[in-house]
Amino acid sequence: MNYIVGIDIGGTKVAIGIVGEDGKLYHHTKIATDLSISPKEMIHRLSEAINHLVKTSGISFEQVLGIGIGAPGPLDSKRGIITCPPNLPNWHNVEIVCMLEELYQIPVRLENDCNAATLAEKWIGASQNNDYFVYVTISTGIGAGIFADGRLISGKSGNAGDIGHIMMDPTYGTCTCGQNGCFEWIASGTAIARQGSEILGQSVTAEEVFTLYRNKDPRVQDLINNIFTVIGAGCTTIVNAFDPEKVVIGGGVSKVGEPLFQAVRSYVQTHALSPSGRETEIVTSGLDHHSGTIGAAALLLQDKGALDEISVH
Ligand SMILES: [Zn+2]
C-alpha cells in the first residue's frame, strides 16, 4: 500500500501522521510549534520529525505519494505559501511547499486547516456520501469549507469559505477585521465569552456561559438564543448560496449540542429560500482529534481524483 504524510500546523503544535490510501492513520507524532525560531528552522525540525516517523514506521520513502499540509490562514494554497496567519506571527510569506518539495522530491500540497478538515469530513467523517456539503467550524473564530461537484472549492488563492466575516448585523460593533457586525464577531466562542463577560460583569469563558444557559440562568438566555438565531441565519445564507445536501457544524461551540442544532434546523426550515434548501440536513461533525492530519493527507488524493473511490464507506 502507498501512504501520504499529513501535517497539521497549529499555533502550539505540529501534528504529523502517516496516512494510508485507505484513510487510516498508521503512525503519528507531534512537535511543539516554536515561535521563537525562524520558520526555516521550524521546517527543518519538521523534516527531521518526518524522517524519524517514516524510518520508525517500517515503510520506505518510495511508498510515500506526497505530503499534505493544513495550516492556519490567510495563505496562498495555489502558490504554496503561508502568507500572514495571526496564529503564527513570524510566518510571513513562507514558501513551505517549495521547501518541502525540494527536500523530498515528491508532490506537496497546502490548504487552510478548515479546508483540510472539510476533506476529512468527506473521507472519514459525516459527509462520506455527499457530493455537496459545507463544513462550518465555530470555535475561537468561524470558518467554512465548501465541497461541491465532488471537490473542495478553495478559491483563487485558497481562502474561500471565510464566512466568519460576512456581515450579520452592522449595529454590533467593529470586528477584528475592521468591518462592523461580522458573523464571527457575534457568534464565535470568543464573541460568546466577550458578551457573556459584559452581561455578568466578570470574565467568563464561552463554556461557562453555556453552563449558565443550561442551568436556565435568566441573565444569559437572551444572549444565547440570539446567538443561535445568528448561527441559524449564517447557515441559511450558506444554504441559499451553495445549495448543499448537508451543513456539518464542528468546533468547540458545536459541543453545546442539541439546543444549538434544534435552533439552527428550525431557522433553516423556516427561512431558506428554496423548498429543498429548507430540508437541508444540519448535522454534527464526524471527526476526531486526528482529522487535521488525515484531512491534510486527503489533499493529495483529491489531486488524483481518488477521494471518492477510496472514501471509507
Ligand atoms: Zn470581520
DSSP 294: H
Q: Which residues pair with 94 in a beta bridge?
A: 82
| 3-state DSSP assignment of residue 114 | helix
CATH architecture of 3-111: 2-Layer Sandwich (3.30)
Distance 111 CA to ligand 1 centre (A): 21
Answer yes or no: are the C-beta atoms of 207 and 222 closer than 8 Å: no
Q: Are strands 142-148 and 25-32 parallel, antiparallel or unpaired?
A: unpaired
Residue-level pLDDT at 312: 38
Distance 141 CA to ligand 1 centre (A): 10
The three cell numbers of residue 21 are 490510501
Distance 175 CA to ligand 1 centre (A): 5
Distance 166 CA to ligand 1 centre (A): 7
What is the rounded distance in angstroms from the CA atom of residue 17 to the CA atom of residue 5?
A: 6
Distance 132 CA to ligand 1 centre (A): 26
Residue-level pLDDT at 310: 42
Residue type at position 239:
V
| 3-state DSSP assignment of residue 3 | strand
Which fold does the domain 126-284 belong to in CATH? Nucleotidyltransferase; domain 5 (3.30.420)
Cis amide bond preceding 74, omega within 30: yes
| 3-state DSSP assignment of residue 174 | strand
Distance 74 CA to ligand 1 centre (A): 13
Distance 184 CA to ligand 1 centre (A): 7
Distance 220 CA to ligand 1 centre (A): 24
Answer yes or no: are the C-beta atoms of 278 and 269 closer than 8 Å: yes
Q: Mutual orientation of helices 218-242 and 189-200 as an angle, nearest 10°?
A: 160
Compute the residue count for the chain.
313
Distance 153 CA to ligand 1 centre (A): 21
Distance 2 CA to ligand 1 centre (A): 42
What is the rounded distance in angstroms from the CA atom of residue 310 to the CA atom of residue 254?
A: 29
| Cβ neighbours for 106, distance < 8 A, ≥ 6 positions apart | 61, 64, 65, 66, 67
Distance 181 CA to ligand 1 centre (A): 7
- The full set of domain ranges for the chain reads 3-111, 126-284
| Cβ neighbours for 196, distance < 8 A, ≥ 6 positions apart | 204, 206, 208, 209, 212, 220, 223
Residue-level pLDDT at 150: 85
Distance 167 CA to ligand 1 centre (A): 8
DSSP H stretches of helix in the chain: 39-57, 96-104, 113-124, 183-187, 189-200, 206-214, 218-242, 258-271, 275-278, 291-303
CA dist list (Å): 175 to 128, 171, 195, 248: 35, 11, 13, 25
* 0.85 surpassed by pTM: yes
Same fold across 3-111 and 126-284: yes
Distance 103 CA to ligand 1 centre (A): 38
What is the rounded distance in angstroms from the CA atom of residue 114 to the CA atom of residue 161?
A: 9
CA dist list (Å): 62 to 3, 59, 66: 9, 8, 10
pLDDT along the chain (313 residues), means of 10: 94 93 92 94 97 95 95 92 89 96 96 92 92 94 93 90 94 94 96 98 97 97 98 98 96 92 98 98 88 92 61 37
Phi, psi of 235 (to 5 degrees): -70, -35
Distance 117 CA to ligand 1 centre (A): 22
What is the rounded distance in angstroms from the CA atom of residue 231 to the CA atom of residue 186?
A: 9
Helix/strand/coil percent split, the chain, to 5: 45, 20, 35
Phi, psi of 25 (to 5 degrees): -90, 115
Residue-level pLDDT at 304: 65
